[in-house]
Chains A and B, each alone.
Chain A
Amino acid sequence: MIAALMGLLACQLAGELLARLLGLPVPGPVLGTILLFLVLMARGRIPDTLRDVSRTLLANLSLLFVPAGVGIIQHLDRLRGEWLGIAAAVFGSTVLTMVVAVLVFRGVSRLTGADAAPSDRGRA
């Protein structure tokens, strides 16, 4: 487990360093994801401990947003003043984005013959 954590942190660190050194607008952790992916491709398999640690982290991803989310307490005044506009923007834009993304994905998928295998289909 420690080795797996070390691997994740090392990729993140390398990503942060690359982003700084090359002046890329891409965030360090995202470069770290790409680096880890390349390492896995080169090795051809996922170590068991890394799979377990990753699964645990991703299964609890939403917990990791809680501390920053509590920061809402600092913005209650602003939210009180502009809540309607912010709520409309956030809700409207989120729903619209999902609809546009899913329809474009499905449309291009059909056009290019990259449609989902039956095993990739779920509800509805």
Chain B
Amino acid sequence: MITDVIEPAIQDVWVYLTARPLVWLTVTIAAYLIGQWLFERAGRRPLVNPVAIAVVLLVALLMVTGTDYQTYFDGAQFVHFLLGPATVALAVPLFQNFSQVRRAALPMLAALVAGSVTAILSAVGIAMLFGVSLETSRSLASKSVTMPIAMGITEQIGGIPSLTAVVVMITGIIGAMVVTPLMDLLRIGDWRARGFAVGVASHGIGTARAFQVNEIAGTFAGIAMALNGIATAIMVPLLISLLD
């Protein structure tokens, strides 16, 4: 039977390929492109979020193929790594729009402190109200900041860093989905304020959404994300020690 020859051959090729970064790297980018394509097809509606689509497709693929997360991440880490340089790249729009930024220094500072404290206390507070375990609640404290920073903070306060990564992603997707309708509802026309709010609440995914809509909004979102990374890193350990 020819299938007796082909099936083991396919099996061999599969085992060979999936042990290397190439497959998971390619599949990650492909899943994201599918998400982007659906987003465009849906008229760039915020509810059709490319990250959410990509994650769902990839989780389904890992489950169907019985691949463990570590194997997947070994390949996809090359994409993950770019979060660092992308964070550094925020200096470019910051420099380009610095005159507007300097004018808004006071509103930004006030919104940063208010937003940062609200993000931490409301996440932990609501979780505790619902009887969520201490370990999980702590993993939620830094949900509004960019992933590498959030994972570091969670480690410091005794939460689960990889759970934080997931919660950070979900926070970003929610922020990107609700920011436009929410701001329209509040009748906020100021791109600076809209961008800053989404950056404080939902880091890079919110910032990505802001850049899609308006460059000023994106710039302010990027600044908010960078500042909130710093503010949250300082405030979470303080606030958590008060809760104990």
Contact = CB atoms under 8 A, between A and B. Distances in A.
B130 A106 contact: no
Interface in B101-136: 103-108, 110-112, 114-115, 118-119, 122-124, 126-127, 129-133, 136
A41 B91 CA distance: 10
A70 interface: yes
Contacts of B211: 58-59, 61
Contacts of A89: 122-124, 126-127, 130, 132, 137, 140
Residue among A32, A50, A65, A73 having the largest count of chain B Cβ atoms under 10 Å: A65
Residue among A36, A37, A92, A122 having the largest count of chain B Cβ atoms under 10 Å: A122
B51 A65 contact: yes
Nearest to B196: A105
B88 A11 contact: yes
Interface string B221-243: 01010100110011000000000
A33 B184 CA distance: 31
Contacts of A71: 69, 73, 162, 165-166
B117 to A, nearest CB: 9
Contacts of B91: 11, 33-37, 40, 54
B31 A93 contact: no
Contact of B106 (A26, A33, A94, A112): A112
A92 B122 contact: yes
A66 B214 CA distance: 23
A85 B123 CA distance: 10
15 contacts: A32-B87, A57-B82, A62-B51, A64-B86, A70-B58, A73-B69, A85-B130, A94-B174, A94-B175, A97-B197, A100-B115, A105-B192, A109-B107, A115-B190, A121-B191
* Secondary structure class of chain B's binding surface, majority of residues: helix
Given A40-B91, A65-B51, A90-B123, A106 B175 contact: no
Contacts, number: 355
Interface residues of A, number: 83
Interface in A45-102: 46, 50-51, 53-55, 57-75, 78-79, 82, 84-86, 88-102
Contacts of B163: 75, 78
Interface string B44-73: 000000110011001100110000010011
B86 A101 contact: no
B188 A124 contact: yes
A88 B166 contact: no
Contact of A46 (B51, B62, B95, B118): B95
Given A66-B54, A71-B73, A101-B118, A29 B192 contact: no
Interface string A10-38: 01100100000000011111101111110
B62 A90 contact: no
A90 B140 contact: yes
